[in-house]
Amino acid sequence: MEKRNNVWANVDWITISIYLAMMFIGWINIYAAVFNEEHKSIFDSTQQYGKQLMWIFAAIFIAVLMINTDSKFFVAFAFPIYGGIILLLALVPFIGTTINGAKSWIQIGNFLLQPSEFMKMATSLALARFISSYNFKMHEYKSLLILSGIILVPVGLIFLQNDTGSAIVFGVFLLVLYREGLNGLVLFFSFLIALVFILTMVLDPYITVITLTVAALVINYLMKKKTRRTLIAAGLFSGIFGVLYLINYFLQWSIDPLYFLLIAAALTSALTFLYAYVLRKRSLMIMIAIYFGSVLFAVSVDYVFHNIMEQHQRDRINELLGIQSDLHGAGYHVNQSKIAIGSGGFFGKGFLQGTQTKFDFVPEQSTDFIFCTVGEEWGFLGTVTVIGLFMGLLMRLIFLAERNRSKFSRVYGYCVATILFFHFAVNIGMTIGLAPVIGIPLPFFSYGGSSLWSFTLLLFVFIRLDASRFEQLSY
Amino acid sequence: MDTFSKRKFIIAGIMLGIAAIFILRLFTIQITNKTYKQFATRNVLRKITTFPARGLIYDRNNKLMVYNKAAYDLMIIPREVKSFDTTELCRIVQLERLDLREAIKKAKQFSYYKPSIVVGQISPDIYAPLQEKLYKYPGFFVQSRTLREYPSKSAAQTLGFVGEVNQRIIDEDKYYRSGDYIGVSGLEKAYEKELRGIKGITKSMVDVHNRIKGKYNEGLEDTTAILGQNLMTGLDAELHAYAELLMTNKRGAIVAIEPATGEIILMVSAPTYDPNLLVGRQRSANYNILDRDSLNKPMWNRAVIGRYPPGSTFKLANALIALEEHAITPFDRFSCSGKGSKPISCTHSHVSPLAVREGIRESCNSFFWNAFRQIMNHKSNSAESYQAWRDYITSFGFGQKLNPELSSEVKGSIPEASLYDKWYTPGRWNAMTIRSLAIGQGEIEATPLQMANLCALIANRGYYITPHIVRAIQDTNRVDRQLSFEKKVVNISPEHFNTVIDGMQAVVDETRTLGATVHLDDIIICGKTGTVQNPHGADHSAFVGFAPRDNPKIAVAVFIENAGFGATYAAPVAGLLIEKYLNDSIVPKRKDLEQRLIETDLLNVAVVKKKP
């Protein structure tokens, strides 16, 4: 059949359209973000916007190249590609160039390439290749070891280059492993720990404990539909806390209310646990244990971080997590970023009318904080459109991955979707103050050739694989 | 077989869940919460004030008395400051390190983003080397300002000075912002609204580094600064300098008025100071020094706040009233027994009996007691007579402020009849009780300005024009707007003036001391001395006079504190000033007198006297 043979007839044009739309919107916003009165032309190649256009054309060239590559190539060369980029990554400390404190770039002529960006694609290929291999079983000791190896070797190397942001991205492969059969509890606990940790770092411990309590009560209610029991637990918690808080207030003990939250959580947990134990409700006992464990974890993380560690250790941790140090006091960058987005209102200030981003109040306005320009100039309509485009792309990718009968294609497809998702979540989350400031780009939007090309490569390898969904039935 | 296919829903669910949280969050910060929009305008809008140059002040010959010179403020934007060589900067701007550190600390407390003044009012000679080195100090920049300059260094109290506004002024008047300047005293205060001009405001968009990125709203909300208006005064700068020279080391005041126009030619208060002291960086230090000089009070304008009993100079007023009321005729004579006269003894022996012309010439206390008694007995009772007398006196300008432009002016004091009623009970007081008024002593107090005004009124033979310093205001197009002033005619017949003026001419031409020190060969000067009894120390020396006798050009009043006889100091000072003003120079034979007056040190004598 001709359809089977013509790869252009089988590529997913919906994905490609979203991809092109994102690049175009990104380019327009880069133009607005770093608009220079003296270089008004959007094609001016001395400016970032002119350059980005060149990167876009190069990216399209890469895309075409990928589509014209035989899909069997990716399967066959998955490990060699992985090995090759690992080698390149290992060489970076010796031949690399340092930019912004991260020695993660290799200069080839005038171009700067960041091997860690391409590592995402290579690791995805390797994971897909390994998981799709014959006789693969997720929960075998050996499989888990190899999977950990495939993921952690590049993570280690990237950590060594001081590029923590890129390293953390690899954590998202847990979602892929989950899709392929990894025990849900691993995902659940990883997610819980990460969530509690981020909450503690971004918010303060009071809000974290209250959030956890509310979450536990809501989940309990949703799972068991026991209104009375939930209300009693909630009443217990707030009652104990309220009484202690009032006593403190009237006797002027000036004790940190966090202790009252803890006592309330502990007493409520103990009482409900006793109740569950007597009635032999095992799932309830587990849930209470998880809840109280999370509370303890949050409080101790906060305590250790703020009371035991020295400032330089805190800085180290922040650096390790890729949370950028804030030179101008708590949350200066995030605050400026929120001001920029918030000032956009519903319709935005209009194209090139943004002031917060253009006038350098927002840092890195063309790269990591490009979403601020969208928010300021295009308003809520703009931000929702961008989020919508991302969701459209991600949902489409999951759909494409699922329709492939080839396990390789499917795993790879999930890798692409989850990597893009992670970037999306952390980048936008950071600009609106919901995630710590970790310097990772917004795919297809942020300025920069290296990241644009690596995301293009990542995406179009999958589009090529998907285009061959009728040929490859085996893998 | 794919057993985990359903997990795609969980993964998609996580993604959609995060997206939903984001949209919710964006909804709150972009739509529900308005504070971000306010923050945004505060971030980018920078109001920059342009200060107009203050108006100039000219003297009667269109000579500049006050103008502006360039000065510079060293500004700082703490956020942009990098580490720098503090020692060098301190050396250039001549500042102590601690002061610099203190200034930077204060600036940081005010704002990290907005400019504050580190060192204000740097003179151009410091500015030049500073400008060359400024590139070494990121975060610092220079803002130009204007400072007042007083080329003739005179008339300090009359011109006044400008100072920084205080919080009370800022609260009361929305025009002023912290750091603005305002006229504090003298003309600078009285004509603040004309002199200051109108500040301009430029709204600019700035980036986080406070760099200007363009006009806000295309400059539609900008206003341009409007220059201050100039004051055209009747003061004579040259004569002022000369008068102040004569008043060296003396305490007192001089006021000279052009009778025909009411223009104040001179308004001197001594001891004085160089008005340039109250300008620039040394202002506050110098202000404190001047302010604390409780002995000399150099910042007091004695010409309008000095309340002196007018002494014998006041006899002119009494003579006019007595003649007008027909209490005496020009030919009525009264006898005098010199120091033995009752109820008021006379200072010296002279011809007796004598009429009004000689009475004025000899400043005869007996004559004026008799004349005053006649006035007081003229109506049916003392109170009524006194009231009639008082009405004349107040119509001469006494007991009231003459011109609101002289912001610190005091009324002086001419008691109401009710005061004596209170003191002595009604009907129980008469001419005898208040006899001191006959010779300008007692309860009456007048300012040197009021005495000069009396003299101008006599010179004009019956009227005076409200005395004023500023005659016109010149707008920014250099067009003068003449100010109009009220002409006040007194109810005294012209022939009585001639009688009194005859006496005044006789004072100068026929008495021995004044004949030698005041009399001029080519100009007829009319005057009257006063020796003011002073309960606090030595007598004050006073003189009022005008010249020429016909078509008078200048009327002057001189008060020199604790200087003794009017004829000794005040009269020759007035004489020299009249000569200088009318002839432009002093005849050689009077140079010795001039020198002696300049060198006379009455201040330090007074200090010695005060020591036990």
Do the domain assignments include residue A187? no
Residues A112, A161 share a domain? yes
Say whether residue B23 is in contact with chain A using an 8 A CB cutoff. Answer: yes
Interface contact A339-B205, CB threshold 8 A: no
- Pairing status of strand B200-206 against strand B45-50: antiparallel
What is the per-residue pLDDT for A374?
Answer: 93
CB neighbour list of residue B283: distance below 8 Å, 6 or more residues apart: B121, B161, B163, B277
C-beta of residue B149 within 8 angstroms of C-beta of residue B54: no
Which residues on B lie below 8 Å from A414 (Cβ)? 11
Say whether residue A339 is in contact with chain B using an 8 A CB cutoff. Answer: yes
Residues A177, A39 share a domain? yes
Nearest to A342 among B5, B36, B209 (CB): B36
Say whether residue B19 is in contact with chain A using an 8 A CB cutoff. Answer: yes
Residue of B nearest to A354 (CA): B40
Residues A40, A120 share a domain? yes
What is the per-residue pLDDT for B40?
Answer: 73
Structure tokens at A10: 């089988």
Interface contact B36-A339, CB threshold 8 A: yes
pLDDT band at B612 (very low <50, low <70, confident <90, very high): very low
Residue of B nearest to A375 (CA): B30
CB contacts under 8 A, A 347-376 vs B, are 355-356, 358-361, 375
Q: pLDDT at residue B470 above 50? A: yes
User: Of the candidates B304, B234, B253, which has an alpha carbon nearest to the alpha carbon of residue B468?
Assistant: B234
Residues A355, A390 share a domain? yes
The two most distant CA atoms of chain B are separated, in Å, by 149
Interface contact A384-B26, CB threshold 8 A: yes
Residue of A nearest to B3 (CA): A181
Do the domain assignments include residue A417? yes
The tens digit of pLDDT for each residue in B244-283 reads 999 988 899 999 999 999 999 999 998 898 888 888 778 8
Q: pLDDT at residue B191 above 70? A: yes
Report the pLDDT averaged over residues B199-225.
Answer: 72
Q: pLDDT at residue B480 above 80? A: yes
What is the per-residue pLDDT for A330?
Answer: 45
Residues A155, A12 share a domain? yes
C-beta of residue A299 within 8 angstroms of C-beta of residue A205: yes
Residues A30, A176 share a domain? yes
Residues A284, A362 share a domain? no
Identify from B36, B41, B206 which residue to disrupt to test chain A contact, counting A C-beta atoms within 10 A and taking the largest count.
B36
Do the domain assignments include residue A474? no
Do the domain assignments include residue A98? yes
Which residues on B lie below 8 Å from A418 (Cβ)? 11
Residues A129, A205 share a domain? no
Interface contact B8-A179, CB threshold 8 A: yes
Which residues on A lie below 8 Å from B18 (Cβ)? 421, 424-425, 429
Give the separation between CA B280 and CA B278, rounded to whole angstroms: 7
Identify from A188, A361, A365 which residue to disrupt to test chain B contact, counting B C-beta atoms within 10 A and taking the largest count.
A361
Give the separation between CA A355 and CA A359, rounded to whole angstroms: 6
Separation in Å, CA of B118 to nearest CA in chain A:
23
Residue of B nearest to A397 (CA): B12
Report the pLDDT averaged over residues B20-44.
Answer: 83
User: Of the candidates B58, B241, B272, B234, which has an alpha carbon nearest to the alpha carbon of residue B156?
Assistant: B272
Say whether residue A431 is in contact with chain B using an 8 A CB cutoff. Answer: no
DSSP assignments along B471-519, one per residue: EEEE-TTS-EEE----EEE-S--HHHHHHHHHHHHHHHHHSHHHHHHT-
Among 3.40.50.10800, 3.40.50.10790, 3.20.20.70, 3.90.1310.10, name the CATH number for the domain at B69-145. 3.90.1310.10
Last residue of a domain, one of A271, A299, A320: A320
Residues A87, A35 share a domain? yes
Among 3.40.50.300, 2.60.40.10, 2.30.110.10, 3.40.710.10, name the CATH number for the domain at B237-610. 3.40.710.10
Report the pLDDT averaged over residues B413-420.
Answer: 88
Interface contact B11-A434, CB threshold 8 A: no
Interface contact B23-A384, CB threshold 8 A: yes
Say whether residue A425 is in contact with chain B using an 8 A CB cutoff. Answer: yes
Which residues on A lie below 8 Å from B31 (Cβ)? 345-346, 380
Interface contact A359-B207, CB threshold 8 A: yes
Separation in Å, CA of B105 to nearest CA in chain A:
17
Residues A439, A340 share a domain? yes
Identify from A391, A406, A411, A416 which residue to disrupt to test chain B contact, counting B C-beta atoms within 10 A and taking the largest count.
A391
Residue of A nearest to B2 (CA): A180
Interface contact B209-A360, CB threshold 8 A: yes
Structure tokens at B161: 């000075």
Could you tell me how many CB contacts below 8 A there are between chain A and chain B?
116
Interface contact B33-A414, CB threshold 8 A: no
Q: Among A278-282, B82-86, B455-459, which range has the highest average pLDDT?
A: B455-459
Do the domain assignments include residue A297? yes
Q: pLDDT at residue B28 above 80? A: yes
Say whether residue B33 is in contact with chain A using an 8 A CB cutoff. Answer: yes
What is the per-residue pLDDT for A315?
Answer: 65
Half-sphere exposure of A106 (CA within 13 A, CB side): 17
Angle (CA) A181 A184 A187, round 5°: 110
Do the domain assignments include residue A413? yes
Which of A42-56, B112-126, B369-383 has the least mean pLDDT?
B112-126
Structure tokens at A464: 């090529």
C-beta of residue B298 within 8 angstroms of C-beta of residue B252: no
Give the separation between CA A281 and CA A283, rounded to whole angstroms: 6
Q: pLDDT at residue B611 above 50? A: no
What is the per-residue pLDDT for B610?
Answer: 41
Report the pLDDT averaged over residues B160-176.
Answer: 85
Which residues on B lie below 8 Å from A181 (Cβ)? 3-4
Identify from B2, B9, B14, B15 which residue to disrupt to test chain A contact, counting A C-beta atoms within 10 A and taking the largest count.
B15
Q: Which residues in chain A land under pLDDT 50?
A: 1-2, 327-330, 474-475
Interface contact A432-B29, CB threshold 8 A: yes
- Residue A145: how many CB atoms within 10 A of its CB? 10
Do the domain assignments include residue A193? no
Residue of A nearest to B206 (CA): A359
Q: pLDDT at residue B419 above 80? A: yes
What is the per-residue pLDDT for A355?
Answer: 74
In chain B, count of helices (H) and strands (E)? 23, 19
Three-class DSSP labels, chain A: CHHHHCHHHHCCHHHHHHHHHHHHHHHHHHHHHCCECCECCCCCCCCHHHHHHHHHHHHHHHHHHHHCCCHHHHHHCHHHHHHHHHHHHHHHHHHCEEECCEEEEEEECCEEECHHHHHHHHHHHHHHHHHCCCCCCCCCHHHHHHHHHHHHHHHHHHHHCCCHHHHHHHHHHHHHHHHCCCCHHHHHHHHHHHHHHHHHHHCCHHHHHHHHHHHHHHHHHHHHCCHHHHHHHHHHHHHHHHHHHHHHHHHCCCCCHHHHHHHHHHHHHHHHHHHHHHCCCHHHHHHHHHHHHHHHHHHHHHHHHHHHCCHHHHHHHHHHCCECCCCCCCCHHHHHHHHHHHCCCCCCCCCCCCCCCCCCCCCCCCCCCHHHHHHHHHHHHHHHHHHHHHHHHHHHHHHHHHHCCCHHHHHHHHHHHHHHHHHHHHHHHHHCCCCCCECCCCCCCCCCHHHHHHHHHHHHHHHHHHHCCCCCCCC
Beta pairing partners, B116: B76
Last residue of a domain, one of A320, A346, A362: A320
Query: Residue ranges per domain, chain B?
Result: 69-145, 237-610
Nearest to A395 among B12, B31, B213 (CB): B12
- Domain containing A49 equals 2-182+325-467
Do the domain assignments include residue A444? yes
Residues A151, A50 share a domain? yes
What is the per-residue pLDDT for A327?
Answer: 45
User: What whole-number percentage of chain B has pLDDT above 90?
Assistant: 29
What is the per-residue pLDDT for A116?
Answer: 87
Last residue of a domain, one of A320, A346, A361: A320
Interface contact A402-B8, CB threshold 8 A: yes
Residues A294, A259 share a domain? yes
Say whether residue A153 is in contact with chain B using an 8 A CB cutoff. Answer: no
Residue of B nearest to A388 (CA): B19
For residues B139 and B557, the model is more confident at B557
Say whether residue B27 is in contact with chain A using an 8 A CB cutoff. Answer: yes
- Please state, rounded to an integer, the average pLDDT across all residues of chain B: 86
- Looking at the 3D structure of chain A, how many domains does it have? 2
Give the separation between CA B555 and CA B251, rounded to whole angstroms: 21
